[in-house]
A and B are shown apart, each in its own frame.
Chain A
Amino acid sequence: MAVDAPERPTAVRADIARADSRTKIFNRVCAGVLIAFALIWLIPIAWALDTAFKPNEETTATRWLIDNPTFDAFGRVLRDTDILRWFGSSLIIATITALGVVIVASMAGFALSRMRFKYRNVVFWLVLAGIMIPGQVLIVPQFREMDSLGILNTFWAVSAPQIPTAIAVFIFKQFFDGLPRELDEVARVDGAGFWRIYRGVIMPLSRPAISAVVIFAFVQSWNDLLWPLLVLSNPDIMTIPVGLATVQGSFGIRYADVMASAVLGAIPLVAVFLLFQKNIVEGIAGTGLKG
């Protein structure tokens, strides 16, 4: 084929245009597939919500349409179960845990990042070893420990083993290592001790690490089942997951009530999630910590 020189640019342009339109189509198909999957992913939650707004009698007919939408199921769950108390317990435990983790781990992380002392490496490896120990393998001795301390059925027993989280120390140490040392130097010249450097210089600059750890510890603690299941056997002070998993509330096959209790159990964290969606997602992706 004889191709004249001046024609060349147009051919290239056409090529690019063709490639562009191909990419466009490809992107459209991608988007379509993804939307389809996202909708599938939403079905269970949507169905739970849908059912929760039905009267119990309508739940056996499996359809989305509700003839008589009602809040009754929510009313019954709030009245007949301790779910509000469970909210309270979950909130207190998760708050104690999250604050505890941040305080304790950031201090340890600060020492490891900023201070020089004997056995520093020993401590560092001890912490590193802690990352390898899954809490689940300790439930048996921990239960006996809490028993002999006489603190079973208290919030402390739930939080205590969750506070010394080795990975949080690691996250803080790593974050602090990334902060310029000149900052401490300036403070030190001004006569600040370690506590003031930690409290006044480092911590205020560490909001990303703090919020990541807070979010993570809070979500973990809120959703934990196994340990609080063992420790909290008094229905008055159970957490949401434990309460929902063990107390039947004699609902039986009253599906609207069951789904209403599921929806209520999900609301607090989902609300927090919707408010801070971006932060939570980034925090979790950043720390990559998971139970």
Chain B
Amino acid sequence: MSTTETAVRPRSGTSESGPVSKPKSNGLPAFGFLAPFLVLYLAFIIGPGLYGLLMSFFDTSLVQPGLGTFAGFGNYAEAFQSSDFWAGLWHTVWFTILTTPPLIILAFVFALLADRAKHGRWFFRLAFFMPYILPSAVVALIWIFLYTPELGLLDTGLAKLGMTAPNWLGDPNWAMPSLAITTIWWTLGFNFVLYLAGLQDIPRDLYEASAMDGATPWQQIWKITVPLLGRTTTLVVVLQVIASLKVFDQMYIMTQGGPNFATRSVLQYIYDEGFTNFRTGYAAAASMLFFVVILAVSAVWFGIVRRQQKEA
């Protein structure tokens, strides 16, 4: 399971809130409670992390025992010079650019509209959120079928409107936007739900008071809703960006990174190098570089949250 994203509500002084009652230390029992987590955590997260770092300095092979020959910074140098690595990174960023704004704006608008609806919220939740719980493979099978050239629902639908559909997944220029459309359909529900929750936290009396003052619904949205959802939006943006950076499933199943590598994400590049080409050491180095990118994004988020907390 991925562990980066969190919507843990910032509470000031969380880490300082120690026990109040007895100043006595509970060292032994405490580590008893912590042990199951810590053992697994060290064995399967921290340990492999360090091992991966070590491996990235060797020409380790998947099919050979041991670390292999020492490569120094060779793997990192290769990754920096590899046009495929940069292409993978760019495809990932391109995917992020294509998916993030629609996923945030549409989710916000839909949540706003749903929040005004008096009836049938369950229906909207069903419609928008259900795709989110489908496995990626199911989503991919459905959309490959929708995108089928000529026979697919999209092509025939557009033909009825007198338009010619592009070769969705087959055209290198269209493949990524097509994957983005699929992804927007698939994951919008998550942001929708976060925004709905955020909207419910806005006190109703604010709206009532402003209505008394003669504010139009439009003004209410811009003057009340948008500013008060600032924190939710920060959260949604960061979760979205990080999730998009880690994209793998859609490409792997729908285009296998093609056509002509046009949709190979950085994670799939790592997968291909490490497990198809057996170049484990190099793949570990590429993973480390990718980790740095994700850390940077997370750091920016922490910075923003800090500032928001101070302002609040």
Write the residues of chain A forming the contact surface with B, with a CB cutoff of 8 angstroms.
15, 19, 22-23, 26-27, 30-31, 33-34, 37-39, 41-45, 47-48, 51, 60, 62, 97, 101, 103-105, 107-108, 110-118, 120-121, 123-124, 126-127, 130-145, 160-167, 169-171, 173-174, 177, 181, 184-185, 188, 193-195, 198, 217, 219-226, 229-230, 240-245, 255, 258-259, 261-262, 265-266, 269-270, 273-274, 277, 280-282, 284-291
Q: Which of B4, B123, B188 has the most CB of A within 10 A?
A: B4
Across the interface, do B113 and A130 meet the contact criterion of CB distance under 8 Å? no
Across the interface, do B1 and A217 meet the contact criterion of CB distance under 8 Å? yes
Given contacts A19-B214, A140-B287, contact A62 B152 (CB under 8 A): yes
Across the interface, do A45 and B26 meet the contact criterion of CB distance under 8 Å? no
Within the assembled complex, what's the spacing in Å between the Cα atoms of A110 and B19? Answer: 11
Q: Which 8 A-B pairs have the closest CB atoms?
A: A288-B7, A244-B137, A141-B52, A38-B127, A111-B33, A108-B37, A164-B41, A285-B197
Within the assembled complex, what's the spacing in Å between the Cα atoms of A220 and B136? Answer: 11
Q: Does B165 contact A (CB under 8 A)?
A: no
- Chain B at the A interface: SS class: helix
Nearest-neighbor residue (CB-CB) of B28 within chain A = A117
Across the interface, do B51 and A45 meet the contact criterion of CB distance under 8 Å? no
Within the assembled complex, what's the spacing in Å between the Cα atoms of A142 and B46? Answer: 10
Across the interface, do B135 and A140 meet the contact criterion of CB distance under 8 Å? no
Given contacts A38-B123, A140-B52, contact A241 B137 (CB under 8 A): yes
Q: Does B25 contact A (CB under 8 A)?
A: yes
Across the interface, do A60 and B193 meet the contact criterion of CB distance under 8 Å? no
Kindly list chain A residues whose C-beta atoms are within 8 Å of the C-beta of B242.
134
Kindly list chain B residues whose C-beta atoms are within 8 Å of the C-beta of A255.
145, 148
CB within 8 A of B44: which of A41, A112, A164, A185? A164
| B26 to A: closest C-beta gap in Å | 4
Kindly list chain B residues whose C-beta atoms are within 8 Å of the C-beta of A223.
133-136
Across the interface, do B141 and A145 meet the contact criterion of CB distance under 8 Å? no
Across the interface, do B246 and A136 meet the contact criterion of CB distance under 8 Å? yes
Kindly list chain A residues whose C-beta atoms are within 8 Å of the C-beta of B26.
115-117, 194
Give residues of chain B (28-64) contacting chain A, Cβ–Cβ below 8 Å.
29-31, 33-34, 36-38, 40-41, 43-49, 51-52, 55, 60, 62
Within the assembled complex, what's the spacing in Å between the Cα atoms of A19 and B230? Answer: 28
Across the interface, do B142 and A262 meet the contact criterion of CB distance under 8 Å? yes
CB within 8 A of B141: which of A27, A162, A258, A282? A258
| 0/1 string, B275-302, CB within 8 A of A gives 1 | 1000010011001101100110010000
Within the assembled complex, what's the spacing in Å between the Cα atoms of A116 and B17? Answer: 10
